[in-house]
Chain A
Amino acid sequence: GQQVMQIPQYQHVQEGEDFTTYCNSSTTLSNIQWYKQRPGGHPVFLIQLVKSGEVKKQKRLTFQFGEAKKNSSLHITATQTTDVGTYFCAASKYGNKLVFGAGTILRVKS
């Protein structure tokens, strides 16, 4: 079945440093979504990317969808302690079914 690889598995940064997580698929995707899960919480939707080469920003978060629609990234500028959590990409090839990456756990040292 369809697989989505997400790296790194874990990242520990100093507050103020940047952070990036990457998501890759071997097949072309219809769209990709990103979710954030705080420790002990449930996944919460952040954004959906649909177009080839699309770039979207939410304050300090920048989301990109690759030109071939096979990869995506989430970049956080100047991390804060409130950014702590696990970030998941979730890919859709068709329909409303999503395949989730394994997630990147972000820890921020203050």
Chain B
Amino acid sequence: DAEITQSPRHKITETGRQVTLACHQTWNHNNMFWYRQDLGHGLRLIHYSYGVHDTNKGEVSDGYSVSRSNTEDLPLTLESAASSQTSVYFCASSSLGEQFFGPGTRLTVL
């Protein structure tokens, strides 16, 4: 069955370190998205991609970057982790309409 996976599921890091969160989907979807979820804010879009080599900034993109070298993967990199980036991160993919979400990565920046 097609799926979307994220790794790691939990990560603790220190401020200033570079961190990369992986997202892999086997739906063969062109569209992929990264969100962060914080209490009271719902899901906020960080970056998104509509296809290979396409990346776009979302509403909270500062301090984050993504790259899309193939259809299946959209890794999210925190260039220099900050405590404000402690959050739960969800990756999602879609073809038309409905978005399929991964299980999430809980990131703690100390």
**A102 and B44 alpha carbons, distance in the complex (Å):** 9
- When each residue 31-43 of chain B gets 1 if its CB lies under 8 Å from chain A and 0 otherwise, what string results? 1010100001111
Which of A45, A96, A101 sits near B31, CB closer than 8 Å?
Answer: A96
- When each residue 1-33 of chain A gets 1 if its CB lies under 8 Å from chain B and 0 otherwise, what string results? 100001001000000000000000000000101
Is A59 in contact with chain B by the CB < 8 A criterion? no
**A6 and B97 alpha carbons, distance in the complex (Å):** 20
Within the complex, the shortest CB–CB distance from A105 to chain B, in Å, comes to 9
Is B109 in contact with chain A by the CB < 8 A criterion? no
Known interface pairs A42-B104, A97-B48; A102-B40 also in contact (CB < 8 Å): yes
Known interface pairs A1-B59, A96-B31, A97-B48; A45-B98 also in contact (CB < 8 Å): yes
Name the residue on B nearest A50 (C-beta): B97
Residues of chain A within 8 A (CB-CB) of B44 are 100
A42, B90: Cβ atoms under 8 Å? yes
- When each residue 27-55 of chain A gets 1 if its CB lies under 8 Å from chain B and 0 otherwise, what string results? 00001010000000111110010000000
Residues of chain B within 8 A (CB-CB) of A88 are 42-43
We find that the number of chain A residues with CB closer than 8 angstroms to chain B is 21
Is A98 in contact with chain B by the CB < 8 A criterion? yes
Is A103 in contact with chain B by the CB < 8 A criterion? yes
**A90 and B33 alpha carbons, distance in the complex (Å):** 14
**A88 and B37 alpha carbons, distance in the complex (Å):** 12
Is B27 in contact with chain A by the CB < 8 A criterion? no
Beyond A90-B99, A97-B33, A99-B45: 9 further Cβ-contacts under 8 Å? A1-B59, A33-B98, A42-B103, A43-B90, A43-B92, A45-B98, A96-B97, A101-B42, A102-B41
Which positions in A face B, CB cutoff 8 Å?
1, 6, 9, 31, 33, 41-45, 48, 88, 90, 96-103
